[in-house]
Amino acid sequence: MAISYCDWLPSQMSSSTLTLLFVLLGTLCSFIYFFSSPNRNKNGRKLPPGPAPLPIIGNIHMLGNLPHQSLHYLAKKYGPIMSIMLGKVPTIVVSSPEAAELFLKVHDVVFASRPKVQSAKYFTYGGKALAFTQYGSYCASKVECFAPIRKSDVGLLVESVRKVAAVGETINLSLAVAKVLEEMMSKVLFGRSMDDKIDFKLLVDEALHLSGVFNLSDYVPFLAPLDLQGYTRRLKKASSGLHEFFDKMIDEYQQGINMDDQKPYRSFFQLMVSMLDTPINPNNEDQPYIFGRENIKAIMVDMVAASFDTTSTTIEWTFTELLKHPRVMVALQKELEIVVGRNRMVEESDLPKLAYLDMVIKESFRLHPVAPLLIPHESTEDVTVNRYFIPKKSRLLVNTWSMGRNPKIWSSNAEEFFPERFKDRKIDLRGHDFELIPFGTGRRGCPGMQLALVNMRIILAQLAHCFDWELPGGMLPNELDMTEKFSLSLPRANRLLVKSTYRLIA
Ligand code: HEM
């Protein structure tokens, strides 16, 4: 496995500065290592096995550009419960369903916290958006009432693809899908479309990237003032862009501008602003905690980051696999023809009858989990798991990408896209079956799962039903680029370009 240093060293640094830095680091390393060598047997208590850490940086140098893959290969050597050091932070990497169940179900309470990282400091004012579960029911219970938005926005997507198809041009499907989801989620979250003048997607992409990267400042705090990777500078810029944006929205809302209150639902943002300056804990007079602007902005940043990109990334990968496996695309279109017929578009009421579509989606999640390491958890106390000692404030990474490719779980064709494997296997996505947990599970599981699944099903079904698809320039399915790009989510590294032909009789 190639090890890449480029992600954690600044490319613009001159070689003399680097040499000086390494000499200084070397001296400091030897000094600190001498006094605080990490010990796999803490007071006779055994930590899980793992690779030997270097002084100061621990195992960060082993992560490379695609940490989920590097950790997958390391786990083959050290096992499904592995310990590594990220700087001075003890980190547990879990890579099997049995181990995931131990940490996320048996010891869920201990591992339900999130670490305090630089990205949270800047984007969410040091974690002022932490009360996610409180709002979870919002995402889940409103799925039905957003059906008209889905119908009209997915209809517009089909129209735009149809126009491009009519003139025989190539379409950037990644962008088209990302746009429709941005539109749909903006209406759900803000009650309106995004302001065209601001490239909101660019800001969100940057936020996701910076929240996903392994930032040296989080693991080796004494290096933070040097900002060696340039992430602090970028965090400041991206967070102030997002906060300005939300400040403007709160102002507009308070002045009654741009808000249409005639809708049959109340947007998430309206709900938040209606709580502005009210006490969160009205029954506690000693410690009145007021729900302020910073809380709203922090929560909105988290909601946007959690919802905009995740669904479009999954659709992008599912479509990539459908194009790579024309047999599966044909089988899906056949199911749609039987259930829906060629004379009309798909309706949401058709979705429960599309069993093969569900298998395709599960198979896509198995090979391309959007959050390959979930979102890092943190332990709140010392705990013993499977006879291993896990110290308080350990970070927990659950490698769902690795679990999805394990031949012991998925048989020898684990690397193959084969939706039929779910035919006789009762596995659902709600977190009961630890082989497949793309939405996480337990206290920190995804509260937006139901909404995300409906959005995915309707967009995928509509695109597969309304069009026949081919790759541009005579490209063969097996030539399709499958390169991943690591951030908090795991999108394709390059956009998906395709050609289509309208196939409905109307
Ligand atoms: C295909 C789409 C999606 C996938 C694959 C996905 C996956 C995930 C995962 C893996 C987590 C972390 C679980 C953990 O760390 O244990 C998470 C958290 C979260 N998701 Fe999603 N998600 C999706 C869509 C959405 C949507 C549409 C929303 C909102 C409407 C949403 C809101 C959240 C929130 C608020 C959290 C944080 C929960 C917490 O920290 O307690 N997600 N999601």
ipTM of the complex, rounded to two decimals: 0.99
Half-sphere exposure of 306 (CA within 13 A, CB side): 26
- Residue 258: predicted pLDDT: 62
- What average pLDDT is seen over the chain? 86
Residue whose tokens read 């290592």: 33
Q: Report the alpha-carbon distance of residue 441 to residue 137 in Å, rounded.
A: 15
Band (7; pLDDT cuts 50, 70, 90):
very low
Prediction pTM value: 0.88
- Residue 29: predicted pLDDT: 53
Domains in the chain, please, with CATH? 45-502 (1.10.630.10)
d(CA 438, ligand 1 centre) in Å: 9
b vs e for 467-494, b when ≥16 Cβ sit within 10 Å of the residue's Cβ?
bebebeeeeebeebeeebebbbbbbbee
| Both tokens assigned to 244 | 């300005």
- Residue 255: predicted pLDDT: 81
3-state DSSP assignment of residue 357:
helix
pLDDT above 70 coverage of the chain, percent? 84
* 365-403: pLDDT as tens digits: 999 999 999 999 999 999 999 999 999 999 999 999 999
- Stretch 33-58: mean pLDDT, rounded? 74
d(CA 190, ligand 1 centre) in Å: 18
Contact criterion met (CB below 8 Å) for 408 and 75 = no
Half-sphere exposure of 247 (CA within 13 A, CB side): 7
- Stretch 283-308: mean pLDDT, rounded? 79
Q: At what angle do helices 293-324 and 355-367 cross, to 10 degrees?
A: 110
- Identity of the amino acid at 316: E
- Tell me: is residue 446 an annotated ligand-binding position: yes
Q: Report the alpha-carbon distance of residue 451 to residue 307 in Å, rounded.
A: 9
d(CA 387, ligand 1 centre) in Å: 31
- Residue 213: predicted pLDDT: 86
Atom of ligand 1 nearest to the CA of 443: 41
Q: Which of 95-99, 102-106, 285-289 has the lowest mean pLDDT?
A: 285-289
Please tell me the total number of residues recorded for the chain in this structure.
506
- Residue 47: predicted pLDDT: 94
- Residue nearest to ligand 1 atom 36, measured at CA: 446
Q: Does residue 216 surpass a pLDDT of 70?
A: yes
Contact criterion met (CB below 8 Å) for 3 and 62 = yes
Q: Which of 30-39, 62-71, 449-458 has the lowest mean pLDDT?
A: 30-39
d(CA 272, ligand 1 centre) in Å: 19
Atom of ligand 1 nearest to the CA of 130: 40
pLDDT above 90 coverage of the chain, percent? 59
φ, ψ at 492 (rounded to 5°):
-65, 145
- Residue 300: predicted pLDDT: 85
- Residue 384: predicted pLDDT: 96
| Both tokens assigned to 449 | 């799962």
How many CB atoms are closer than 10 A to CB 228?
18
SS (H, E, C) 178-207: HHHHHHHHHHHHHCCCCCCCCCHHHHHHHH
3-state DSSP assignment of residue 441:
coil
The verdict on the CB of residue 375 being under 6 Å from ligand 1 is yes
Band (38; pLDDT cuts 50, 70, 90):
very low
- Residue nearest to ligand 1 atom 3, measured at CA: 310
Closest CA to 52 of 80, 21, 74, 81: 74
The verdict on the CB of residue 336 being under 6 Å from ligand 1 is no
- Residue nearest to ligand 1 atom 2, measured at CA: 311
φ, ψ at 34 (rounded to 5°):
-60, -40
How many CB atoms are closer than 10 A to CB 272?
21
Band (63; pLDDT cuts 50, 70, 90):
very high
Q: Does residue 412 surpass a pLDDT of 90?
A: yes
Band (148; pLDDT cuts 50, 70, 90):
confident
Q: What do you get for the CA distance between the two ends of the chain, in Å?
A: 52
Q: Does residue 465 surpass a pLDDT of 70?
A: yes
433 vs 26 pLDDT, higher one: 433
Q: Report the alpha-carbon distance of residue 317 to residue 176 in Å, rounded.
A: 14
Q: Does residue 130 surpass a pLDDT of 60?
A: no
- Residue 64: predicted pLDDT: 92
